[in-house]
């Protein structure tokens, strides 16, 4: 965290900040009033006592500016006007209603702040009309400028705070959707395979115990992988410090694990690669992995496929993914009995990266998922490693 942020985090807030502000303004006004009193004839004792009571009350009202902003604003305006009518000392008490005016404008109460500013200008203009020697047209002009600037600054701050809050809400919503997509892809794939394997084990338990045992072993392996990925995902969510994760991030480098997992569930999968393999940015690599994962999940759960082909093509500007099977395809929206939304999630991943995804039946039979993912920053060719 930068030093400025550390200093800012240590500054008093809430009631303590308002108390310090009230004390600071009181000291400023008191020094200004006493400084002028040394060069002018003093007021009578009752007027002097009344003026100091007004100064104390006006400055003390700032401690309530958060709880009752409009009431405090009007009180400071009226009490300040009474002070200038009562006292012959032109102290800087006008600072207090200006501070209150800024607080009201910063809360978005534009009508109240403009009304207060108009009353203050009108009051000072009345002093010019009655011929007060302490009030001139220049003073009225300067006060008007200050009030307009204060209201404008308060309105700008209110707008910035409202924009920041809306942006924070949008970020929270996007993060919530991203986490939901990630958990769906992490858990949905392996749980779907476990469901398929459990059904196969129940079917073969009496007819072929050996195959049932093999399916149970696959269930154990899939459940262990599910727990591992779930712990890794939850670990990222719980992490306070930005330490580097120890588990390998999901990407196309781990697509062979998906193929092996699908094979244990009785779904033969073949991978075909073309083009010059390139390094991918983390978002593109993760999206490609999740699209392949969800496509295999749909093929295992819904299509009744006997063969799946994964085609990974590295183009000049984008990565092309195709997952085809010879089954009947998922139901509309890839929603199973649990109400999932796999195809919608895959489409969101592709569009978030500036790509596109389509899914539907093939003319020759079966089902196909096709995605285009632009490379982004990375994407320089690299030597293909030996497999």
**pLDDT for position 314:** 92
pTM of the model: 0.48
Rg (CA), the chain: 36
Of the candidates 375, 381, 354, the one whose C-alpha atom is nearest the C-alpha of residue 284 is 375
The pLDDT value recorded for residue 137 is: 65
Contact 307, 325 (CB under 8 A): yes
- Which element (helix H / strand E) includes 236? helix 209-238
Distance between CA atoms of 87 and 47, rounded to whole angstroms?
Answer: 7
CB 140 within 8 A of CB 162: no
The whole-angstrom separation of Cα 362 and Cα 311 is: 15
Q: Is the pLDDT of residue 384 over 60?
A: no
The residue-averaged pLDDT of 104-127 equals: 83
The 3-state DSSP class for residue 360 equals: strand
Name the nearest CA neighbour of 313 among 283, 282, 278, 346.
278
pLDDT tens, residue by residue, 224-278: 777 777 776 666 666 544 454 555 667 888 888 888 877 777 788 889 999 888 8
Q: What share of the chain is helix, strand, coil (3-state, %, to 5)?
A: 65, 10, 25
Using DSSP, state whether 274 is helix, strand or coil.
Answer: strand
Average pLDDT, stretch 175-196? 72
* Entry field: residues in the chain: 387
Q: Quick one: average pLDDT of 99-109? A: 86
Pairing of strands 308-314, 269-275: parallel
Q: Tokens 């004839």 label which residue?
A: 41
**Both tokens assigned to 17:** 């900040």
Q: Which domains does the chain have, with CATH numbers?
A: 3-135 (no CATH), 252-387 (3.30.565.10)
pLDDT-derived band at 311, boundaries 50, 70, 90: very high
d(CA 276, CA 250): 21
pLDDT at 310: 92
Lowest mean pLDDT among 36-45, 174-183, 253-262, 302-311: 36-45
pLDDT digits (tens, 9 = 90+) for 356-382: 999 888 888 888 899 999 987 554 544
CA–CA distance, 215 with 210 (Å, rounded to integer): 9
Give yes or no for residue 119 having a pLDDT over 50: yes
According to the model, what pLDDT value does residue 371 have? Answer: 94
């Amino acid at each position: 965290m930068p030093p400025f942020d550390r200093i800012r985090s240590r500054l008093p807030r809430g009631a303590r900040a308002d108390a310090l502000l009230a004390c600071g303004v009181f000291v400023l006004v008191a020094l200004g009033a006493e400084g002028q009193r040394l060069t002018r004839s003093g007021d009578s004792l009752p007027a002097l006592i009344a003026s100091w009571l007004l100064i104390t009350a006006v400055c003390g009202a700032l401690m309530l500016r958060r709880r009752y902003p409009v009431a405090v604003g009007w009180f400071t305006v009226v009490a300040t006007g009474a002070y200038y009518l009562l006292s012959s000392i032109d102290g800087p008490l006008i600072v207090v209603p200006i501070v209150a005016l800024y607080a009201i404008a910063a809360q978005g109460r534009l009508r109240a702040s403009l009304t207060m500013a108009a009353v203050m200008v009108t009051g000072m203009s009345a002093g010019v009309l009655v011929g007060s020697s302490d009030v001139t047209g220049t003073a009225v002009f300067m006060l008007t400028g200050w009030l307009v600037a204060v209201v404008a600054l308060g309105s700008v701050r209110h707008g910035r705070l409202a924009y920041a809050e809306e942006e924070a809400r949008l970020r929270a919503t996007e993060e919530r959707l991203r986490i939901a997509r990630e958990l769906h892809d992490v858990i949905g794939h392996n749980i779907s395979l476990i469901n398929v394997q459990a059904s196969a084990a129940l079917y073969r338990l009496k007819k072929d115990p050996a195959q049932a045992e093999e399916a149970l072993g696959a269930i154990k392996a899939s459940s262990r992988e599910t727990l591992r990925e779930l712990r890794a995902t939850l670990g990222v969510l719980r992490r306070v410090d930005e330490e580097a994760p120890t588990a390998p991030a999901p990407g196309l480098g781990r697509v062979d694990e998906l193929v092996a997992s699908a094979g244990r569930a009785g779904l033969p999968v073949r991978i075909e690669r073309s083009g010059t393999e390139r390094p991918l940015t983390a978002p593109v690599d993760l999206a490609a992995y999740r699209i392949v994962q969800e496509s295999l999940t749909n093929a295992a759960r819904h299509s009744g496929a006997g063969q799946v082909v994964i085609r990974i093509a590295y183009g000049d500007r984008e990565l092309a993914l195709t997952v085809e099977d010879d089954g009947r395809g998922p139901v509309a929206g890839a929603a199973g009995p649990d109400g999932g939304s796999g195809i919608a999630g895959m489409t969101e991943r592709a569009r978030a990266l500036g790509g596109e995804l389509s899914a539907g039946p093939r003319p020759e039979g079966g089902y196909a998922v096709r995605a285009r993912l632009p490379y982004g920053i990375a994407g320089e060719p690299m030597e293909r490693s030996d497999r």
